Amino acid sequence: MRILVLIHSAFAMWNIPAEHREKLAAAFPQHQFLHARDDREGLAMIPGADIAFSRHVDRDQLAAAGRLRWIHTPAAGVDGMLYPEMVRSPVVITNSRGMAADTIAEHAIAVTLAMFRRLHVAVQRQVERRWAQDEIASGAPNRSVAGSHVLIVGFGAIGRAVGAKFEALGADIVGIRRRPEGGASRRVAGPERLHELLRAADVVVICAPQTADTRHLIGAPELSIMRSDALLINVSRGQLVDEAALADALRTNRIGGAALDVFEDEPLARGSPLWSLPDTLITPHTSGFRPDHWDAATDLFSENLRRFEAGQPLLNVVDKSAGY
């Protein structure tokens, strides 16, 4: 079989390093690996490919891919690849969901602790060489994760990892997922309880996938019923939060703060009000970064390639109609 390894030169983090391409070629000498350095070369090579190991296959590439049967992406999100032609096609997509779950969970804990201990204010005043003890003490008091109520919207692999980290610090957690396992319970609830659970949450962590149903899942109505000291964390996709409504809620102190790693448009525009709003922590879509990303990504692809050869079920098959 021919396997296209497609490099996305504009997105360095999704460019598989040469040593990992060589590792795959050495592990599977029975297959021919085609190395495309950009989308143009990918378009030229994909007609001969049975498999693509790539962050994205666009419409033109799919139209040219007469032999393509399976795409594996080294990312978890596949929303950008689920255009109508791909959804209708017989091409199977697998992703790398769960691979960065622990890393993202640590990020959620880190930003919560930073905001609860008002470290963002301390860092700002450090830059200004100002002693901020009175300011921090007279503002929102330092808060503890222990005993707090944490709502995790999206309780898949990432959401469960986030929940485990918060529980280890003594928080009371509840997750929302489209299909609650074992029925609704204290710990896992269906989406119909979102508004009810938002009202009691100290921390709301967005971990749900991006689908047609989750766009602006958190908008003005949801922000209006959150606690005035609640912290909103988004480590999923920017489109799940209405940024204009969030900016307004932060500007008017209707919620306590936000820690945002993802945005509706990335990079976040220099003119976005989110940069300068109080009690807002911005990170540049780095919550899932881990130093051994490509080790884990190529190991997962290798396992799936062995399964594909043997006609066995693949890991992490994407439900293209559901969107994840």
CA distance 306 to 292: 22
Overall number of domains in the chain = 2
Confidence band, pLDDT 50/70/90 cuts, at residue 26: very high
CA distance 145 to 167: 9
Q: Do 175 and 212 belong together in one domain?
A: yes
The mean pLDDT of the chain is 94
Q: Do 143 and 223 belong together in one domain?
A: yes
pLDDT at res. 14: 74
Q: Do 150 and 40 belong together in one domain?
A: no
Q: Do 29 and 120 belong together in one domain?
A: no
Nearest to 109 by CA among 240, 237, 210, 259: 259
Q: Do 53 and 132 belong together in one domain?
A: no
CB proximity list for 16: less than 8 A, separation 6 or greater? 5, 7, 53, 74, 294, 297, 298
> Which amino acid, residue 183?
G
Q: Do 48 and 148 belong together in one domain?
A: no
pLDDT at res. 40: 92
Q: Do 122 and 179 belong together in one domain?
A: yes
Q: Do 112 and 82 belong together in one domain?
A: no
The packing angle between helices 157-168 and 101-116, to 10°, is 40
- Residue bearing tokens 């448009």: 265
pLDDT at res. 136: 86
CATH of residue 123: 3.40.50.720
pLDDT at res. 12: 66
Q: What is the DSSP letter of 178?
A: S
Beta strands in 21-96 (DSSP E): 32-36, 51-53, 70-72, 92-94
Is 171 within the bounds of a domain? yes
Q: Do 6 and 120 belong together in one domain?
A: no
CA distance from start to end of the chain? 27
pLDDT at res. 222: 98
Asked if pLDDT for residue 268 goes beyond 90, the answer is yes
Judge if pTM exceeds 0.75.
yes
pLDDT at res. 11: 61
Asked if pLDDT for residue 9 goes beyond 60, the answer is no
For residue 56, the enclosing domain spans 2-99+290-310
CA distance 278 to 236: 22
pLDDT at res. 135: 86
Is 178 within the bounds of a domain? yes
CA–CA–CA angle 33, 324, 7 (5° rounding): 30
Q: Measure Cα distances from 48 to 4, 45, 222 in Å.
A: 9, 6, 49
Is 324 within the bounds of a domain? no
Assign 298 to helix, strand or coil: helix
Q: Which helix (H) or strand (E) holds 25?
A: helix 18-27
**What is the torsional sign of CA 265, 72, 215, 245?**
negative
- pLDDT tens-digit profile of 30-70? 999 999 988 899 999 999 999 999 999 999 999 999 999 99
Asked if pLDDT for residue 118 goes beyond 80, the answer is yes
CA distance 86 to 57: 9
Enumerate the H helices of 200-285 as residue ranges: 220-225, 243-251
pLDDT at res. 266: 92
* Across 266-287, average pLDDT: 96
Is 315 within the bounds of a domain? no
Q: What percent of the chain has pLDDT over 90?
A: 85
Assign 101 to helix, strand or coil: helix
Q: Do 135 and 253 belong together in one domain?
A: yes
Asked if pLDDT for residue 183 goes beyond 80, the answer is no
